[in-house]
Structure 1
Amino acid sequence: MTAPVLPASRAKRASTDAAATAWALAARSGDRHAAEHFVRALHHDVLCYVAHLSGDPQTAHDLTQDTFARAFGSLHRFEGRASARTWLLSIARRAVADSFRHAAARPRLADTPDWQAAVERVQPSGLPGFEDGVALLDLLEALPDERREAFVLTQVVGLTYEEAAGFTGCPVGTVRSRVSRARAALERQLLEAEAPAALTA
């Protein structure tokens, strides 16, 4: 009889979560080596999450740095009850919310160009996948906030539905429903976008 085996990606993520949590706990007592490993293990996930949640890749790196700064500032309170990934993403969520509040309170001195147009102007648009990436950001931005968050947490960051539910504070069924509706909306938008091209072909 063989033991059940997790899919490779899930097993790898579980291993990364366990290691990142151990590194966070070690970093809490001042281990700089562990702190570096903790940042490296979860930096990409935080960056992806804040980029999609904020809808602004231009500020994603600043928000990611802010997230880790906050995390290290409160690391002494981290006890490992939840995974370091879940704990860190909750901090990232607050960092994004605070940035929205700060931006709303700050008076606008001048009109600024649309960030997507600015990105398109400075990036080499001939790179494979560039236009697809911009299109995906456009599609995700059209989703309601709670559906976009559920989709990004499970489909981009890679949390399970149970982890996403714990993270967002809503039932697992609600997360599944939001992801399902987000996926259906994205598919519908893709079909609508492709329809004119098919007619002119």
Structure 2
Amino acid sequence: MNDITRVLFAAQDGDPTAFERFVQLTIDDVTRFCHYLGDRDHVEDLVQDTYLRALRGLHTFRGDNTAKSWLLTIARRSCADSINSQQRARRTELTRRHHTNHTTLVDTELLLDELPDDQRYAFVLTQLLGYRYGEAAAISDCAVGTIRSRVSRARAHLAHLITQAEQAG
């Protein structure tokens, strides 16, 4: 059992400072995760929402996976909720940028926004945050092969989007 998981179990057992320590140990990963997967203008709100959800659901942690995996699963859900409410606005913004700016400066964040949610999660976890495929599978609650497939499709989709952007410019 790793240190972060031990700290979370201590929080479950009523240690008054354990949850604060848990936040300190995990906040950098949660912030990066929310930055890549959520509404970038509201990263702090997504991080706060993640920890509020974790605190409310503290009793549900059973230790089947690491505490960090459990927390990033909560962060993924928080980001998904945010994405669902903001998706139309982003697509409108991408269309507006395409029509008003014909010089091609590929905006990585907008390209990531164009990936389907499952591909974006898998790509960000493995390629940008450096999680192994097994860890990403645990966070995403799916099989390792599914993560590999999603990353492969994300790469192909991103290559296609970059080619389109270059041809449009």
User: Scaled by the length of structure 2, what TM-score is found?
Assistant: 0.74
Give the corresponding residue for 1:9.
none
Higher relative contact order (CA 8 A, sep 6+): 2
Superposed, which structure 2 residues align to 1:42-81 within 5 Å?
A: 42-54=26-38, 56-81=39-64
| Residue 68 of structure 1, CA deviation | 0.4
What runs of 5+ residues in structure 2 fail to find an aligned partner? 87-91, 97-104
Taking the aligned partners of 2:163 and 2:82, their CA distance within structure 1 comes to 34
Q: Does 1:41 align with 2:13?
A: no
Q: Find the partner of 2:128 among 136, 146, 156.
A: 156
Secondary structure, counterpart of 1:68 in structure 2: helix
Aligned positions, number: 155
Contact 1:151 1:178 in 2 (8 A): yes
Q: Does 1:166 align with 2:116?
A: no
User: Scaled by the length of structure 1, what TM-score is found?
Assistant: 0.63
Give the corresponding residue for 2:65.
82
Give the corresponding residue for 1:186.
158
Taking the aligned partners of 1:196 and 1:158, their CA distance within structure 2 comes to 32
| Residue 88 of structure 1, CA deviation | 0.7
Taking the aligned partners of 2:110 and 2:3, their CA distance within structure 1 comes to 35
Taking the aligned partners of 2:146 and 2:64, their CA distance within structure 1 comes to 24
Contact 1:165 1:172 in 2 (8 A): yes
Amino acid at match of 1:44: D
Identity of aligned residues (%): 45
| Residue 92 of structure 1, CA deviation | 1.6
What runs of 5+ residues in structure 1 fail to find an aligned partner? 1-16, 105-112, 118-131
Give the corresponding residue for 2:89.
none
